[in-house]
Structure formats: C-alpha cells, structure tokens
Amino acid sequence: MTTDCSDVQTPAVLIDEPRMRHNIHRMQSQTDALGVRFRPHVKTSKCVAVAERQREAGAQGITVSTLKEAEQFFDAGFHDILYAVSLAPNKVDRALALRRRGCRLQVVVDSMVAAQSLAGATQHDRQHPDVLLEVDVDQHRGGIDADSPQLLEIARFLHTQGLAPHGVMAHAGSSYACSTPADLQRVAEQERAQSVHAAQRLRSDGMPCPVVSVGSTPTALSANHLEGVTEVRAGVYVFFDLVMAGVGVCAVDDVALSVLTTVIGHQRERGWVIVDAGWMALSRDRGTQSQAADHGYGLVCTHGGAVIDGLVLSGANQEHGIVSCRNGALPAEDFATRFPIGSRLRVLPNHACATAAQHERYHVVQEGHVMATWPRFGGW
C-alpha cells in the first residue's frame, strides 16, 4: 500500500527510489568494469534496506564507521564488515565480541600503539579480526606514509603476533576538494598507486597482504584503471548530494535524498519564504560554501522534486528555514501566491550523510507516492 506524499508530516527526509537505484547500479557497473570488488560504506544510509539493495546489485561486504553500525548490520545478516576507523584501545573488546559471534570483522590500525593494544587483547584469543594497515595517500587525516619505515615495523610486529596484515586500505578524502576531471583522476591514481606501493612493500618483506582497499565516491567514479587494487569503498554515491555535484561526479538531478518541508510564513519585503525545515532537518553542513556554487543550506525544489531556478535555503534556525532567491530569477512579490502557506517544497542537501543523520526514518518515494518507510539508526 502506498500513500500520497502529501500525507507525510514535515519536515521529513525522502529517498527518491528510482534515483537511488540508478546511483547504486552506476557505481556497481563502474567497479565491475574496473575489475574490483565493491564494498559500500553504510555510514551514509545507516539503513539495512538500502544496504540490501547495494548487495543485490553486486556489492560484496560492507564498510562501517562505528562499531554500532557493525553490530546492527551483523544482526541484519551482513557478515563481512570492514570497520574503517583506526581501532581505539577501548574499542578492542567490543570488536572482538563481534568476531566471536561469527562476524568476519576487519579492523584498521595506523600506529604501533594501536597494533600493540590489539595484539595484547588477542594473545589468548583464537578469534582475532583481520587487520588492515591504513595508508595515508593525501595527508588528509590518518594513516601511515606508504614509504615510511613505520609501515614495515608495524606490519612485522603484527606478523610476529600472529596478526599478519590482511592488507592495506586508503581513503583519498582530499578528492572532495576537487572540481575538475583531471584533478579527480590525479587523486584517484595517487590513491591507487600509493596503496599498491604499500602492499608491495609488505609482500617484498614476506607478508601475503591479499587486500588492497581504496576509495571515496569521487575517486571511485574517476579512476581510469585500478591495477593492483582488490576492492573499492564508497558511501555517499548511494544518495549523492550538492557537494558531489560541485565536485562534478554527479548531476543535481541524480541527488536521491531531499527534505520535504511545508511553507509556514512569508516576509514579503525581504523576499523570504519561511519553511518548517531548519538546520535540525538539514544539518548544519555548509559543504558547498567552499565550492564554486554555494547553495546555502540546500537547493529548493517543487513538491515533485524539480529544482526551482535560483531558490535556495539561505538561512536556517533550529526549526525555521529561510528560502530566498539568489539571482533575481523569481520576482519576490509573487512568493506568497507561488508558495502559499501550507504548500510543500523539497530541499536537496549539501551533504547527504549529515542530513540523513538528522532523521530516524526515510520515506521512500516514487512519482510522488510513499512506497515504504525505512528506519535508520544513529549513535555509537
């Protein structure tokens, strides 16, 4: 049974199902063509139903950003899980508990201290997780330099402890700052080459290192080849967002996530439409602020999802959004008749991961009808 979108209480977050399906198949086709496994990052959706669709399309395993995600998805039948954040000593027990329950959990370390803490915790335990070493390919956040002596030191230490590195992983987060195909291809090649180089150093040193895992949505969609890589990870591609459109790896019309909102007022002299979606519904993410096109808190669309030229969510309080027109494309004096109180709009977000995180469920829509509501979870 479907319901009309007009019955949904606002604000609410919608998934445009045909767009999501298209995005899932696009990434799967891309990684298939590159000859690598695809392991989606479920931190974007935190939703079992979304991950099931990624798996049905051909994804193998999932990537998570928290142990809560690992636990929730394991309970939902996902057994091959990469926890892609350097494992803190205080999280080792929780990770091992998952492994003991039969989860094929892979963990990441990028320091001797983390390696030692993991080795200490697993020395009397036959069920230890597979370990990947994080490689720093772009000085973006964590990881070990592919050429550093530390890489081999940590790998050898793990090897002596019976925790031989299962592989290397890298995330070229700097790709989010790109805006041209040439830059994207350069960062993708850098991510690939340095990861493969790190793996080869380990292999030359006598360690098997079967896995070379790389990825971000921009690099996954920009790589010309992935020689030496075994798997790709990406998350935000499943919904896309305005930041990804600014980077150039999707069109605005590919964005599958939007916030449904109701007009609650006007300030005619200022050319404002006030809506009931503020930063609580959109998040405080202003990711397009540093891009060529700054979309405020989001691009405003009709109830049906068509972008309204020039209309942006220019301001956001907790439960109030201010819609205004940035280029004079629309006469502000018509706003009250064109967007009357009680009418509805959709807002495309800057950053799908951050916007989705503000909500407890998705309304899955197709041609204006709500086909399903899917729960998502938060917390750690």
| Bridge pairing between strands 104-109 and 80-86 | parallel
Q: How many positions of this chain bind a copy of itself (CB under 8 A)?
A: 61
Cα–Cα distance measured from residue 249 to residue 369, given in angstroms and rounded to the nearest whole number: 28
Q: Report residue 101 as tokens.
A: 């329950």
Pick the closer one to a copy of itself by CB: 36 or 376: 376
Closest C-alpha to 301, from 267, 334, 252, 341: 252
Pick one of 60, 127, 267, 366: the residue that binds a copy of itself (CB under 8 A). Answer: 267
Instruction: Draw the binding track, 300-319, toward a copy of itself (x: CB under 8 A; -: no contact).
Output: ---------------x-xxx
Site string for a copy of itself, 157-176 (x = CB under 8 A): ----------------x---
Q: Tell me: does residue 337 bind a copy of itself (CB under 8 A).
A: no
Position among 233, 346, 351, 376 found at the interface with a copy of itself (CB under 8 A) = 351
334 binds a copy of itself (CB under 8 A): no
Binding part of the chain for a copy of itself, among 121-129, 135-143, 194-202, 247-255 by CB under 8 A, reads 135-143
C-beta of 142: minimal distance to a copy of itself in Å?
A: 5
| Nearest of 110, 118, 276 to residue 198 by alpha carbon | 110
Per CB under 8 A, the segment of 72-80, 87-95, 121-129, 182-190 that binds a copy of itself is 87-95
The DSSP secondary structure of 292-358, one letter per residue, reads: SS--BT-EEEETTS-EEEEEEEEEE-SS-EEEEESSS-S-GGGHHHHS-TT-EEEEE-S-HHHHHTT
The Cα-based distances of 128 to 74, 120, 154, 351 in angstroms read 17, 11, 17, 35
- Contact flag: residue 73 with a copy of itself (CB under 8 A): no
Query: Binding string to a copy of itself for residues 213 to 252, with x set by CB under 8 A, is what?
Result: ----------------------------------------
DSSP 41: B
User: 221 is written with which tokens?
Assistant: 């969609």
Whole-angstrom CA distances from 148 to 199, 202, 264 are 13, 12, 58
Q: What minimum distance in Å lies between the beta carbon of 303 and a copy of itself?
A: 13
Q: Quick check: 121 and 145 in contact, CB under 8 A?
A: no
Residues in contact with a copy of itself by the rule CB under 8 A: 9-12, 43, 65-66, 85-91, 94, 110-111, 113-114, 117, 136, 139, 141-142, 173, 262-267, 270, 272, 274, 276, 279-281, 283-286, 315, 317-320, 322, 340-342, 351, 353-354, 357-360, 378-380
